[in-house]
Chain A
Amino acid sequence: MTRNEKIALLEETFELEEGELKEDMKLDELEAWDSMAKLSLIVLMDDEFDKKLTGEQIKSFKTVKDILDFME
């Protein structure tokens, strides 16, 4: 999966419009980055990437890039 495809997947998960998410965006400033988005991300990582995402790891994510790097 390419970087752009992963961004598109995150946009879908966070219910954002196509092209709305940028790698350097700070998560704290992102309106869609709420507790439902975080649980949706746990589900996404488990189902699509076979990765277990913990609360501590979520807390360590500061930017969209941090999430993308975790998806590698």
Chain B
Amino acid sequence: MLKIYFTELENAKTHSEEFARCVLGKNLNVDGESILIYRNEFGKPFLKDHPYIHFNISHTKGAIVCAVSDEPVGVDIERVKRFNKCIVERFFTQNEQNYIFASNENVAERFIEIWTKKEAYVKWVGKGMQEIPFASFDVLQMSIPKLRVIKKREYLISVCTYIPDSNVHQIQMKEICWE
């Protein structure tokens, strides 16, 4: 099971944990405010009181996404925007660079796809990009865990889980109008 909750709002950074609390409250049938969110030494959030529920949060300017699952999950969201080519050259593998610059069309979208997949993978592991340097793994050659990308208006959301394609029906995307 994997549920991906998405919302658009101002001050996403300020409200991301509050949003996660609301989403988790719905899933656990408890008051979200009563949920205690802990973080590991690299900042990955977890629920000590509900060890069978895994979740992950990501925000970008104007939007928040929270993924809830019964197994480890990493999620990342970014708005498709112009990017610094030097980041690709320094922090992405040659294979990823070739993919991004394969043509002039939709370059920014392919960059954000690779970026969010890398972030989602690092967050799935539960460490930071300092511990798992971006250039040390290639998201285009990764089959387990599975990395999926979802387009939501001008945003791309990448999710990393063990859920295989045969169980893709277990993935639900929900948009919440949340204030």
Contacts and interface: CB of A to CB of B under 8 A. Distances in A.
Contact of B61 (A31, A42, A43): A31
A49 to B, nearest CB: 14
A55 B12 CA distance: 24
B129 A35 contact: yes
Given A15-B81, A43-B86, A43-B87, A36 B12 contact: no
B7 interface: no
A32 B119 CA distance: 16
Contacts of A29: 13-14
B97 to A, nearest CB: 15
Contacts of B119: 35
A34 B129 CA distance: 12
A27 B43 CA distance: 16
Most B C-beta atoms less than 10 A away, residue of A32, A42, A43, A56: A43
A42 B86 CA distance: 10
B151 interface: no
Nearest to A55: B130
A31 B87 contact: no
B86 A31 contact: no
A40 interface: yes
Interface of A: 15, 29, 31-32, 34-36, 39-40, 42-43, 47, 55-56
27 contacts: A29-B13, A29-B14, A31-B11, A31-B12, A32-B61, A35-B119, A35-B129, A36-B78, A36-B83, A36-B87, A36-B115, A39-B87, A39-B90, A39-B91, A39-B129, A39-B134, A40-B84, A40-B87, A42-B90, A43-B84, A43-B86, A43-B87, A43-B90, A47-B86, A55-B128, A55-B130, A56-B130
